[in-house]
Amino acid sequence: MTREELAAAYAAPGRHYHNLSHIRDCLAALARVDSLSAAERETLTEAIWWHDAVYDPTRRDNEERSAELAEQHVRTELREEVGRLIRLTMTHDVSAGDRLGAILISIDLSILGSDPARYDAYAAAIRREFSHVNEDDYRIGRARVLSRFAAREVIFPDPDFAAMYDQQARANLARELAALGGGA
């Protein structure tokens, strides 16, 4: 699968947030991360490109399928680590000391700490991706997901991302939770 074919997958109908713009935003965030070796940067770049390659909001195995697809297409020496990193996006949980995992998850979640207008556009795009879910069920499910993030001591496992985005992320989550009618 070429980059062009991968980019085409991100342009599939129904992708309102998990699209090429999300990948570009993630790559831009990666470009701002200092002190990475060339190999680390390449590994993270591949993980970003592939982490949402498979996206069907009616399924629960998108991350696993994306990881498997990546493992078939990235350079042999990167396969295991890229697959591992992509699988972290299932839960967004990172073990202590997992620097690359912390960076990838923080990059993937950085939208949570964006300015309110951009966050609201993200939330609306997520709702469009889940248009197959009725409003009440969506509100309950979305509130459950957001409440889990809001309850975390650390939303962004990378300390630089935490310093930059945590306060705004918590404000955004609280605002959307209030709009949804509270917690789960």
Handedness of CA 152, 173, 180, 135 (dihedral sign): negative
pLDDT tens readout for residues 62-83: 999 999 999 999 999 999 999 9
* Per-residue confidence band for 184, with pLDDT thresholds at 50, 70 and 90: very low
Q: Which two tokens stand for residue 45?
A: 């770049």
How large a percentage of the chain has pLDDT more than 90?
96
Please give the pLDDT value at position 54. Answer: 96
Max distance between CA atoms of the chain, in angstroms, equals 48
Average pLDDT score over residue span 1-21: 93
Q: What is the mean pLDDT of residues 46-73?
A: 96
Residues in the chain: 184
Per residue in 6-15, pLDDT tens? 999 999 999 9
Q: Are 34 and 146 in contact (CB under 8 A)?
A: no
What's the mean pLDDT in 86-95?
A: 96
Task: Round the CA-based radius of gyration of the chain to a whole number and report it.
Answer: 16
pLDDT of 174 > 70? The answer is yes
Above 80 in pLDDT, residue 182?
Answer: no
pLDDT, residue 2, reads 84
Read off the pLDDT of each residue in 164-174 and give the average, rounded to a whole number: 98
